[in-house]
Structure 1
Amino acid sequence: MSRQSYEFTSESVSEGHPDKVSDRISDEIVDLFFREAIAQGMDPWQIRVAAETLTTTNKVVIAGETRGPASITPERIEAVAREAIRDIGYEQDGFHWKHADIDVLLHPQSVDIAQGVDSGAGLHQEEGAGDQGIMFGYASSDVPDALMPAPVHYSHKILQRLAKARKEEGQDWLGPDSKSQVTVRYHNGRPVEATAIVLSTQHLDASLDSKTIAERVKPYIKDVLPAGWITDNTIFHINPTGKFVIGGPDGDAGLTGRKIIVDTYGGMAPHGGGAFSGKDPTKVDRSAAYATRYLAKNLVAAGIAPWVEIQVSYAIGVASPTSIYVNVDDNNPIKGDKIERIIRQVMDLTPHGIRKHLDLNKPIYAPSSAYGHFGRDPGPNGEFSWEKTDLIDEIRSKL
């Protein structure tokens, strides 16, 4: 952003949003393939998954291509899908984990695609990218502990807080489906207040009106926003349609990969267009987006710039990126071309190098399917490894 004073808005959607239900099922399938491969002693580097999920009224359709253990049958795919739906919280007449009809239409990966990714195969005889494309990574100092843009960060936090109230604190009137939107005012380049907050949450008690729901949820919103951000001038729109009882896939069809801006930076940075969920890390749509976020976050954490945007690009079947581009503020003392040279020194951005550096050949993906892939805490089993800031000293040594 070149302007120093402005308002910016980002949205989030909950784990029960129909698109996120689809993302969760697709990522559970990725995790199943890695988990089963590791259990059977199969090389996890050989796993291939590209799973797409459609959800609608009591119907789930799973399609795509895979390569992995023969023990993963359609019945096992169906079982993990049902468990994901149950964990999200759907036990409604129009969408129920136990009663939904589930079709599994997965098939083996195309040999034409496989030869471009498998080492020793294809035209280039190297472990190449699973597809062509562009990917972006971004970090900013808006939120010091997360290094994320404030509007999308707090949009996520509101919905995570509601989910906790629903699942852990007995607020069972809340339904799984919800959406949030936060408008943040920036002054002199820093976020200072929320000027508008939009929240639509499914409520299982049909008798509740918008005013009552607003009274119940505003304390949760205030819990997660910084002190002083809600003022007398903050505009609230809570369940502005008046009623939100029918939700989730029963209210609207869901598709894997339809919330890519929610998944990343809320529109504050560009997006290459490729979705993440349902894809193993040979797909650079996912792994290179993780790598560029990792690099951008470490650069900001190292004090190189208050915000950093990185673009990389790939050709299918080719290992090395076709380009690396870094964008920082024009007034930043360390320029983009120098940062590009540093990036090439601190991380191998081939698909193999990314998977190895971030340890991505693991069943770690389901937790990323809701509330953003970035700005999260690294987990004990390797989840969100791309959120670590372990390159700070190496980056500084290259200056």
Structure 2
Amino acid sequence: MSRQNYVFTSESVSEGHPDKVCDRISDAILDALLAEDPLARVACETFATTNRVVIGGEVGLTDQARLAEYMTRIPDIARACIKDIGYEQDKFHHDTVEITNLLHEQSAHIAQGVTGARGDEGAGDQGIMFGYATNETDALMPAPIQYAHAILKRLADVRKDGSEPTLRPDAKSQLSVRYEDGKPVGVTSIVLSTQHADESQSSADIRAIVEPYIREVLPEGWITPDTEWWVNPTGTFVIGGPDGDAGLTGRKIIVDTYGGAAPHGGGAFSGKDPTKVDRSAAYVSRYLAKNIVAAGMAERATVQLSYAIGVAKPLSIYVDTHGTGELDGAEIERAIPKVIDLTPRGIRTHLDLNRPIYARTAAYGHFGRAPEADGGFSWERTDLADALKKAV
């Protein structure tokens, strides 16, 4: 039997964290290419450091002759991302940062594996992907990561609207959440490190700025006199972003998913088009897990899918309800293929993934977000719950 009383910790990082700057640029480039060519195949990586951004990877287009034309737009896309995030530092400024674009044509051998000898669409790579859901929050997400994201999103909002002009883009949060009887009930410690404008600002000064917003975000009663606060514990944090520490696409995969509360297959999401099952199958795994919980079939659910490059159908489907399910996991496994096509083409069609909807996923989590009218976060819908119940 799983433990019911414990403390679990998750962290999040802001959109201005160096790795998240890179995720944002990679996903914005993906969006720009999908807006022009919904069938574009993209694997875009970004590296950022002091005064420099390097972009590389592979692109496959329906009309490959237009690749050179599209490549001329890449520096402006990167600069727009940096400007929106808010970087105007001497050594990392959207106007002056040096941008090197090394994107090139997709490998013909990878392309033939994805297209398949019969013209059917195979997976873009081998791999295992996990999805998870739990009823401990309204978003069916683990509480520690959900609220760690929410804190940083709130601080970004007040930074950008001018309410808190001394906050800067680079930040991290970490919450240690206390569980009783398997449910989150309070916070034992709060860690918040945020870049700020003035070296004269102390840790106490920064806490005075951020504490009201943290209290606003967390559920009532979760902060007690026993809660430990660690705000800018190292002191001054003026030099931040890629000037303070180099960034790279895909280095925050646990922040992107479930904060360590569930397994991760290892593949990153950002910069990858939805033929890459690292991304699309992780999204559909979350979709399935969320619908299992939304259907009342379990209080918690983990779904694993596996694929081979060039092969369309998943090699395996695994469901674990962690002892909280009304049904055996094997029964749910048998029901899943009856209600959804889990080939890469089937996933893309069901979730409508060939849209420019990815830059918005680059910070504050790919999961636990509200589905949007233009198809963003479609994997957060719970429209499969009834079909799953009928199929078992």
TM-score using structure 1 length: 0.95
Q: Which residue of 2 aligns with 1:223?
A: 216
How much does 1:73 deviate?
A: 3.3
Separation (CA, whole Å) in 1 of partners of 2:27 and 2:334: 34
- Partner secondary structure for residue 277 of structure 1: coil
Q: Which residue of 1 aligns with 2:75?
A: 78
For 1:21, the aligned partner's letter is: V
Listed one character per residue, the Cα deviations across residues 289-341 of structure 1 (whole Å, up to 9, x for unaligned) are 00000011111111110110011100000000111101112353211101111
After superposition, the CA RMSD in angstroms is: 1.1
How much does 1:398 deviate?
A: 2.1
Question: Does 2:129 correspond to 1:135?
Answer: yes
For 1:262, the aligned partner's letter is: V
How much does 1:149 deviate?
A: 0.2
Q: Which residue of 2 aligns with 1:25?
A: 25
For 1:281, the aligned partner's letter is: P
Question: Does 2:100 correspond to 1:103?
Answer: yes
Q: Which residue of 2 aligns with 1:40?
A: none
For 2:6, the aligned partner's letter is: Y
For 2:24, the aligned partner's letter is: R
- Partner secondary structure for residue 262 of structure 2: coil
Q: Which residue of 1 aligns with 2:389?
A: 396
- Partner secondary structure for residue 138 of structure 1: strand
Listed one character per residue, the Cα deviations across residues 44-87 of structure 1 (whole Å, up to 9, x for unaligned) are 23x10000000000100000000225164333011100000000
Listed one character per residue, the Cα deviations across residues 355-383 of structure 1 (whole Å, up to 9, x for unaligned) are 00000001000000000000001112111
Separation (CA, whole Å) in 2 of partners of 1:34 and 1:18: 25
Separation (CA, whole Å) in 2 of partners of 1:227 and 1:255: 37
Structure 2 residue runs without a partner (length 5+): none
Tell me: CA distance 1:54–1:331, structure 2 relative to 1, closer, same or farther (3 Å). Answer: closer
Q: How does 1:218-367 map to 2 (within 5 A)?
A: 218-330=211-323, 332-367=325-360
Question: Does 2:111 correspond to 1:114?
Answer: yes
Q: Kindly indicate whether the alpha-carbon contact (under 8 Å) linking 2:299 and 2:324 is maintained by their aligned counterparts in 1.
A: no
Listed one character per residue, the Cα deviations across residues 129-176 of structure 1 (whole Å, up to 9, x for unaligned) are 0000000000001112x1000000000000000001101143120000
Q: Which residue of 2 aligns with 1:11?
A: 11
Structure 1 residue runs without a partner (length 5+): 38-43
- Partner secondary structure for residue 336 of structure 2: helix
For 1:165, the aligned partner's letter is: V
Separation (CA, whole Å) in 2 of partners of 1:376 and 1:59: 32
Separation (CA, whole Å) in 2 of partners of 1:130 and 1:297: 25
Separation (CA, whole Å) in 2 of partners of 1:242 and 1:85: 26
Q: How does 1:44-55 map to 2 (within 5 A)?
A: 44-45=38-39, 47-55=40-48
Listed one character per residue, the Cα deviations across residues 86-118 of structure 1 (whole Å, up to 9, x for unaligned) are 000001101000100000000000000000111
Q: Which residue of 2 aligns with 1:41?
A: none
Q: Which residue of 1 aligns with 2:165?
A: 172
For 2:110, the aligned partner's letter is: I
How much does 1:216 deviate?
A: 1.2
- Partner secondary structure for residue 184 of structure 1: strand
Listed one character per residue, the Cα deviations across residues 225-266 of structure 1 (whole Å, up to 9, x for unaligned) are 001000011111000001100000000000000000000000
- Partner secondary structure for residue 222 of structure 2: coil
Separation (CA, whole Å) in 2 of partners of 1:317 and 1:104: 29
Question: Does 2:86 correspond to 1:92?
Answer: no
How much does 1:346 deviate?
A: 1.3
Count of residues in Structure 1 that have an aligned counterpart in Structure 2:
388
How much does 1:342 deviate?
A: 1.6
Separation (CA, whole Å) in 2 of partners of 1:129 and 1:87: 34
For 1:337, the aligned partner's letter is: A
Separation (CA, whole Å) in 2 of partners of 1:231 and 1:346: 46
Separation (CA, whole Å) in 2 of partners of 1:309 and 1:19: 27
For 1:305, the aligned partner's letter is: A
For 1:284, the aligned partner's letter is: V
How much does 1:125 deviate?
A: 4.5
Separation (CA, whole Å) in 2 of partners of 1:86 and 1:309: 38
Separation (CA, whole Å) in 2 of partners of 1:281 and 1:35: 14
Q: Kindly indicate whether the alpha-carbon contact (under 8 Å) linking 2:274 and 2:353 is maintained by their aligned counterparts in 1.
A: yes
For 1:14, the aligned partner's letter is: S
TM-score using structure 2 length: 0.97
Q: Kindly indicate whether the alpha-carbon contact (under 8 Å) linking 2:298 and 2:324 is maintained by their aligned counterparts in 1.
A: no
- Partner secondary structure for residue 287 of structure 2: helix
How much does 1:188 deviate?
A: 0.3
For 1:17, the aligned partner's letter is: H
Separation (CA, whole Å) in 1 of partners of 2:79 and 2:207: 32
Separation (CA, whole Å) in 2 of partners of 1:63 and 1:9: 34
- Partner secondary structure for residue 164 of structure 1: helix
Bigger drift between 131-140 and 324-333 goes to 324-333
Separation (CA, whole Å) in 1 of partners of 2:72 and 2:237: 34
- Partner secondary structure for residue 73 of structure 1: helix
Separation (CA, whole Å) in 2 of partners of 1:354 and 1:3: 35
